[in-house]
Structure 1
Amino acid sequence: MDESAMPALRYFSSYSGRGLPLRLVAELPPEAIAHRNTCLRAAYDEAGRPICIEKLVYGAVEMRHDYRWAADGTLAGVTVSEEGEAPRELVLG
């Protein structure tokens, strides 16, 4: 994620549930990131919906979700990228 082009980033220690979008839990202050081996980094749109979530492991992106939202506010699709694999497109709704 190009941090200079994204809205304010937020950091989390984990996520819960099985559905999409991922539900991030236990928000971390940015200064706590330097002391963690893993965390999740997220950017949100103006409506508060996640547009990108990355799992960081030792500072490298291991997994990434790029979310697309429909005009009615429902999740329209997601691109899932995992280290060493080709990105997968999931079309929803």
Structure 2
Amino acid sequence: MSQAKEYRYFLTYSGVRMPLKLVEPLAESELGNRNTYFRVSYDASGRIATCEKLVYGEVELSHQYAYRDDGSLLRARVELGDEVTEVDCDENGAPVRA
């Protein structure tokens, strides 16, 4: 039996690099008053595993992150509607350009 994900919630993020830097934490009790917020899960090492932007209760945008053993970002999968983008990252976490 799989364990349910534990989420943290945020109002927004800052910056443009991945993984997104979430800011303005929200308590779960505050979500009923929000039309838009971010729902985030973390891996066992405390790094962002998934980040979803919810708009009126529906996932509008989703990021899933994979990391190297040293903690640097290896890959990001970004889903926006039916559009999926896979981004490979260098050892500094910067996107690798093809």
Query: Secondary structure of the residue that 2:32 maps to in structure 1?
Result: helix
| Cα distance in 1, alignment partners of residues 77 and 41 from structure 2 | 15
Give the percent of matched residue pairs that are identical in Structure 1 and Structure 2. 39
Partner of 2:89: 92
Matches within 5 A, 1:18-29: 18-29=16-27
Query: Normalising by structure 2, what TM-score?
Result: 0.85
Q: Does residue 62 of structure 2 align to residue 64 of structure 1?
A: yes
TM-superposed deviation, 1:5: 4.8
| Cα distance in 1, alignment partners of residues 54 and 43 from structure 2 | 21
Matches within 5 A, 1:29-68: 29-68=27-66
Larger-gyration structure (1/2): 2
How many pairs were matched up?
89
Query: Secondary structure of the residue that 1:87 maps to in structure 2?
Result: strand
What is the aligned-residue RMSD (CA, Å)? 1.3
Query: Normalising by structure 1, what TM-score?
Result: 0.90
Q: Please identify runs of 4+ aligned residues in structure 1 that moved more than 3 A.
A: 4-7
